[in-house]
Amino acid sequence: MTHNDFNIRDLLHLAMIPGIGANRLRALVSHFNSPAAALQASPHELIRVEGIEKKLASTIAHHPNNGEAAEHQLSLLNKVNGHIITLWDDEYPEYLRRIYDPPPILFVLGALVPADKFSIAIVGTRRPTAYGKLIAERFACELVKKGITIISGLARGIDTIAHQSTLKSNGRTIAVIGSSIDIIYPPENKKLAEKIEANENGAVVSEFFMGTKPDPGNFPRRNRIISGMSLGTLIVETAEDGGAMITASTALDQNRELFCIPGNITEKYSAGTNKLIRDGHAKLVQNVEDIISELEPVLRPILKTAAPKQEVQLTAFEQKIFDILSSDPVHIDTIAERSQFSTSDALVNLLSLEFKGIVKQLPGKMFVRM
């Protein structure tokens, strides 16, 4: 389904009814197949939807259907030349769609493109040391050379450096913000936001309705989108109670890779990264290759300098298993079913392929080609 199949005004109207959050909006559209059908449903029909209790069903059914609030949203959106991407659109970010609570509506300045699925988030403190600034710039520039899109939060400090360094290297960058796209925060980054959206450099993205100010409570929600759009998150410097620690937490919750730059043990803004590494939550990285090697199976389509692989001899059984695999992770049960092997036989052959260096096992009994 794309939002061409239903009226975006109806979706906004439904979303803006008091008591309808992201979860209920997804449930309503899923149940009724369109926002219009949900708006026209009776209270009796509405309470069949998970999360819709009697009082809210009555609110939805009796809500004035003039759509003025939705029209106002679209008017504000047009003023900044923005557009909307919904969860039901093909262009919705692939990895964000997979998280537990994907935002149903994204307000966008600029453009998201298919290549943005190959993204790494770079985040960190608003008060970086000289070392932190240097590292953030170096990693952003080198990742861009590999064809990777850089995602960050447009905040002061490490985020700003990540975006600026990407643009300087002619790469693509996505800024996910904790206010609406017509209220850029911090205000000194308005020009940076304009550069990001211009000339196909990337996009500024928010889940917040137009006219939403940068309330402190918005930023943890923003952080789950930063990590959710990314294959992995790199934290350059953060204090133990820094905002980047929330992004670390959301990345781990989403089963995404977490990378940290180790820092000086006497430096406050290295305490968070060092703790994540020490506790086994993050991988210590010293160069871009440490990130690339970890994500190589997924990044292979865009890596420009893959080393030529020597010809590997496979048995007929190994070949059968190998032919089922691709750069997209496949679960062991699916492999066994497609190969018509027992699970144990499939695992034996997968182990052999791993020894030969052409298959990698990922968490959750998932396998990919190397």
Task: Give the mean pLDDT of 91-102.
Answer: 95
Quote the CA–CA distance of 144 and 245 in Å, as a whole number. Answer: 24
Q: How confident is the model at residue 221 (pLDDT cuts 50, 70, 90)?
A: very high
Which of 127-136, 171-180, 322-331 bottoms out in mean pLDDT, i.e. has the lowest?
322-331
Task: Give the mean pLDDT of 115-134.
Answer: 94
Please tell me the CATH code under which domain 3-71 is placed.
1.10.150.20
Position 67 pLDDT exceeds 90: no
Amino acid 302: pLDDT:
84
Task: Give the mean pLDDT of 43-72.
Answer: 88
Amino acid 100: pLDDT:
92
Task: Select from 10, 42, 44 the least CA-distant residue to 29.
Answer: 10
pLDDT tens per residue, range 328-364: 789 999 999 999 999 999 999 999 998 887 888 888 8
Amino acid 211: pLDDT:
96
Position 7 pLDDT exceeds 90: no
Q: How confident is the model at residue 171 (pLDDT cuts 50, 70, 90)?
A: very high
Position 274 pLDDT exceeds 50: yes
**For residue 186, is the peptide bond before it cis, meaning its omega torsion is within 30 degrees of 0?**
yes
Amino acid 359: pLDDT:
84
Quote the CA–CA distance of 208 and 271 in Å, as a whole number. Answer: 32
- Domain span(s) for CATH 1.10.10.10 in the chain: 316-369
Q: How confident is the model at residue 5 (pLDDT cuts 50, 70, 90)?
A: low
Residue 286, Cβ density class (10 Å: 0-12 exposed, 13-18 middle, ≥19 buried): exposed
The 3-state secondary structure of the chain reads CCHHHCCHHHHHHHHCCCCCCHHHHHHHHHHHCCHHHHHHCCHHHHCCCCCCCHHHHHHHHCCCCCCHHHHHHHHHHHHCCCEEEECCCCCCCHHHHCCCCCCCEEEEEECCCHHHHCEEEEECCCCCCHHHHHHHHHHHHHHHHCCCEEEECCCCCHHHHHHHHHHHCCCCEEEECCCCCCCCCCHHHHHHHHHHHHHHCEEEEECCCCCCCCCCCHHHHHHHHHHHCCCEEEECCCCCCCHHHHHHHHHHHCCCEEEECCCCCCCHHHHHHHHHHHCCCCEECCCHHHHHHHHHHHHCCCCCCCCCCCCCCCCHHHHHHHHHCCCCCEEHHHHHHHHCCCHHHHHHHHHHHHHCCCEEEECCCEEEEC
Task: Give the mean pLDDT of 54-83.
Answer: 90
pLDDT tens per residue, range 247-266: 999 999 999 999 999 999 99
Amino acid 305: pLDDT:
44
Position 106 pLDDT exceeds 90: yes
Position 69 pLDDT exceeds 60: yes
Q: In angstroms, what CA-CA distances link 345 with 47, 320, 348? A: 48, 12, 5
What tokens appear for 94 in the block?
């692939």
- CA dihedral sign of residues 40, 206, 241, 256: positive
Amino acid 74: pLDDT:
95
Amino acid 369: pLDDT:
81
Amino acid 310: pLDDT:
55
Q: Look at 49 and 370; give whichever has higher pLDDT.
A: 49
- Domain span(s) for CATH 3.40.50.450 in the chain: 107-296
Task: Select from 183, 238, 211 the least CA-distant residue to 74.
Answer: 211
Position 370 pLDDT exceeds 90: no
Amino acid 306: pLDDT:
39
Residue 106: phi and psi, rounded to 5, are -115, 130
The one-letter amino acid code at 28 reads L
Q: How confident is the model at residue 308 (pLDDT cuts 50, 70, 90)?
A: very low
Task: Give the mean pLDDT of 25-33.
Answer: 94
User: Which range scores top for mean pLDDT: 48-57, 172-181, 195-204?
Assistant: 172-181
CATH T-level assignment (fold) for domain 107-296: Rossmann fold (3.40.50)
Give pTM, 2 decimals.
Answer: 0.79
Q: How confident is the model at residue 1 (pLDDT cuts 50, 70, 90)?
A: very low
Give the rounded percent of residues in the chain with a pLDDT score beyond 90. 80
Amino acid 311: pLDDT:
72
Amino acid 304: pLDDT:
57
Which of 99-113, 121-135, 248-262, 327-341 bottoms out in mean pLDDT, i.e. has the lowest?
327-341
- 316-369 CATH, one of 3.90.550.10, 1.10.10.10, 1.10.150.120, 3.40.50.720: 1.10.10.10
Amino acid 368: pLDDT:
82
- Domain span(s) for CATH 1.10.150.20 in the chain: 3-71
Position 134 pLDDT exceeds 80: yes
Mean pLDDT estimate for the chain = 91
Amino acid 307: pLDDT:
40
